[in-house]
């Protein structure tokens, strides 16, 4: 991600930035694994601190209004961050490879979701459906209040 200018980053959508964070996390984990294998402890430590920073940023970007998936991702990010710390302390490549595998799976799923093109007709359908659901919830809540009185 060193090649990205600030202007380019500001032009990206939050979804694209999330994809960049996944990719950077995967690359940094691979570098850290290589450093550990070459017994470059200090460099591995610095890189793994960056990995935890990336994971923290991924967690900070969660939209909890999205539902249960946000809570599940938060739990997964916390697990990954803890495993990175454990892998760093023990200099355990297997632990870090597991975190890299999880991050690769998340990146793949995220990229697939980004690549699914939503046509304007589908967007309009989702907008109308969402508006309908919100109105139903409001009407139901108001109806429940009326029945209570």
22 pLDDT exceeds 60? yes
Radius of gyration of the chain, Cα coordinates, nearest whole angstrom: 21
Distance from the Cα of residue 47 to its chain's centroid: 19
Q: Tell me which residue has tokens 């984990």.
A: 29
Residue 39 has a pLDDT of 97
106 pLDDT exceeds 80? yes
Q: What pLDDT, in 10s, does the model give residues 41-66?
A: 999 999 999 999 999 999 999 998 88
Question: Using CA of residue 41, residue 44, residue 50, residue 51, what is the dihedral sign?
Answer: negative
Per the CB < 8 A criterion, the answer to whether 96 and 29 are in contact is yes
Per the CB < 8 A criterion, the answer to whether 107 and 115 are in contact is no
The model carries a pTM of 0.73
For the chain, where are the alpha helices, taking DSSP H only? 6-11, 14-37, 41-60, 68-90, 93-115, 120-148
- Which has the higher per-residue pLDDT, 107 or 125? 107
Q: Which of 19, 18, 20, 50 is nearest to 32 (CA)?
A: 50
User: What is the rounded average pLDDT of the residues 63-79?
Assistant: 93
């Amino acid at each position: 991600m060193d090649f990205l200018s600030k202007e380019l980053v500001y032009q990206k959508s939050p979804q694209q930035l999330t994809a960049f964070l996944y990719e950077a996390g995967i690359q940094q984990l691979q570098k850290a694994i290589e450093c550990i294998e070459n017994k470059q402890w200090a460099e591995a430590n610095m890189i793994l601190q960056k990995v935890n920073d990336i994971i923290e940023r991924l967690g900070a970007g969660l939209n909890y209004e999205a539902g249960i998936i946000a809570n599940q991702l938060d739990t997964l990010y916390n697990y990954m961050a803890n495993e990175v710390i454990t892998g760093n302390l023990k200099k355990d490549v297997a632990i870090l490879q597991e975190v890299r595998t999880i991050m690769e799976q998340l990146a793949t799923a995220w990229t697939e979701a980004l690549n699914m093109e939503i046509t304007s007709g589908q967007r309009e359908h989702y907008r109308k459906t969402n508006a309908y659901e919100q109105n139903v919830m409001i009407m139901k809540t108001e109806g429940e209040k009326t029945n209570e009185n």
